[in-house]
């Protein structure tokens, strides 16, 4: 695996070649991604929801972990860019017969594909694939272990920018299972790169990673204190599938101490927005009244996922095309 993700992600002129992590990417590049996504926003409103940018390209969705939002929005995004899309069903693939990850990739490469969108339970899987694929193939990380989920973070930044005008100067609270969350790590990196005033994190001690302050987040002890004056509140799912021991006394107790309620949100800024990457455990992470309330922008996050994923695919393919044409000169 590469130690410097930006080095693997960028070509020699600093353009996005793979999208693996927010780490090492500049504010300008993240802004360019949001601007590109904005330019794709109108495609969904056209009678024919397609632009020809990826016509003739083949995108492979390779999801070794379950997904509803990410897999489907990547598929829609690729189709709206006119790409051919291959959804590999891992449960019925030869992975179940013991084929290695690299052999699976090599066999799909032999079919002359152009892009892999990868979700995997192992941190570093997307980096590993990116460091082994042929030069004309781009890899996009759709979530690897508890390491990174960069397209989720960018659709979240895009949503915040849509509602707040900018990320600069905002107080953003992230509440929930931060220890197991690739989303939180990517969000904190994106928020600090884009100039948020303060990123506050709040979770039971057992669900806070030791290194979280080194990313630039401030740890709060009580949710009421964390919510005071907040512009954006992001709830995270309790990732029970990644919890091997007793991380929580009970869901009931978690909700009592950390759950987002209408009552608690009164402490935040009056125009606070409430976000959640999904899937949501209602009445554990958030009251249903909050999930379905006027401050929630959770379904807008899902819609924005298509535009951001279109932007990601368009940017990486454009870089690969440029690299190819330079090689042919
Ligand atoms: N937010 C997110 O990654 O959701 P899925 O697991 O449904 O893709």
Residue 25, classed as helix, strand or coil, is coil
pLDDT confidence of residue 231? 98
Distance 302 CA to ligand 1 centre (A): 9
User: In this structure, how many other beta carbons lie within 10 angstroms of the beta carbon of residue 58?
Assistant: 16
Residue 231 burial (C-beta neighbours within 10 Å; 0-12, 13-18, 19+):
buried
Tens of pLDDT, residue by residue over 254-270, are 999 999 999 999 999 99
Per-residue pLDDT at 243: 66
**Ligand 1 center to residue 233 CA distance, Å?**
18
Q: What is the pLDDT along the chain (329 residues), one digit of tens a residue?
A: 344 556 899 999 999 999 999 999 999 999 999 999 999 999 999 999 999 999 999 999 999 999 999 999 999 999 999 999 999 988 888 888 888 999 999 999 999 999 999 999 999 999 999 999 999 999 999 999 999 999 999 999 999 999 999 999 999 999 999 999 999 999 999 999 999 999 999 999 999 998 899 999 999 999 999 999 999 999 999 987 766 666 777 889 999 999 999 999 999 999 999 999 999 999 999 999 999 999 999 999 999 999 999 999 999 999 999 998 888 88
How many angstroms is it from 279 CA to the middle of ligand 1? 6
Q: Name the burial class of residue 216, with classes exposed (0-12), middle (13-18) and buried (19+) by CB atoms within 10 angstroms of its CB.
A: middle
Complete edge-to-edge strand list for the sheet that includes strand 84-88: 84-88, 58-63, 115-120, 138-144
Neighbours of 56 (CB within 10 A): 9
Residue 59 CA from chain centroid, whole number: 18
**Strand 232-235 relative to strand 171-175, pairing:** parallel
Instruction: List b or e across 129-151, with b for residues whose CB sees 16 or more CB atoms inside 10 angstroms.
Output: bbeebeebbbbbbbbbbbbbbbb
Q: Which residues line ligand 1 (CB under 6 A)?
A: 67-70, 143, 152, 277-279
- Which atom of ligand 1 has the smallest separation from the CA of 142? 3
């Amino acid at each position: 695996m590469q130690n410097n993700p930006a080095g693997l992600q960028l070509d020699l002129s600093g353009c996005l070649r793979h999208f693996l992590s927010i780490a090492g990417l500049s504010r300008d590049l993240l802004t360019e991604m949001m601007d590109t996504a904005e330019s794709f926003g109108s495609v969904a409103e056209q009678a024919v929801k397609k632009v020809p940018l990826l016509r003739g390209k083949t995108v492979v969705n390779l999801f070794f972990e379950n997904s509803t939002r990410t897999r489907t929005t990547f598929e829609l995004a690729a189709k709206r860019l006119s790409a051919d899309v291959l959804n590999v069903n891992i449960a019925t693939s030869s992975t179940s017969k013991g084929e290695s990850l690299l052999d699976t990739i090599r066999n799909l490469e032999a079919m002359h594909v152009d892009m892999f969108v990868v979700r995997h339970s192992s941190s570093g899987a997307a980096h590993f694939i990116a460091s082994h694929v042929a030069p004309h193939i781009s890899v996009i990380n759709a979530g690897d272990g508890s390491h990174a989920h960069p397209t989720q973070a960018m659709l979240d930044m895009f949503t915040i920018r849509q509602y707040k005008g900018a990320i600069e100067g905002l107080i953003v609270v992230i509440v929930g299972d931060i220890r197991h969350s690739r989303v939180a790590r990517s969000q904190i990196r994106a928020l600090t790169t884009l100039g948020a005033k303060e990123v506050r994190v709040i979770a039971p001690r057992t669900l806070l990673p030791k290194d979280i302050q080194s990313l630039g987040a401030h740890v709060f002890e009580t949710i009421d204190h964390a919510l005071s004056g907040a512009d954006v509140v992001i709830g995270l799912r309790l990732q029970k599938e990644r919890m091997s021991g007793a991380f929580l006394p009970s869901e009931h107790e978690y909700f009592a101490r950390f759950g987002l309620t209408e009552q608690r949100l009164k402490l935040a800024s009056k125009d606070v927005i409430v976000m959640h990457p999904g899937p949501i455990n209602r009445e554990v992470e958030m009251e249903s009244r909050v999930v379905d309330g006027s401050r929630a922008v959770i379904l807008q996050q899902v819609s924005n996922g298509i535009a951001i994923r279109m932007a990601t695919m368009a940017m990486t393919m454009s870089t690969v095309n440029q690299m190819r044409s330079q090689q042919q000169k």
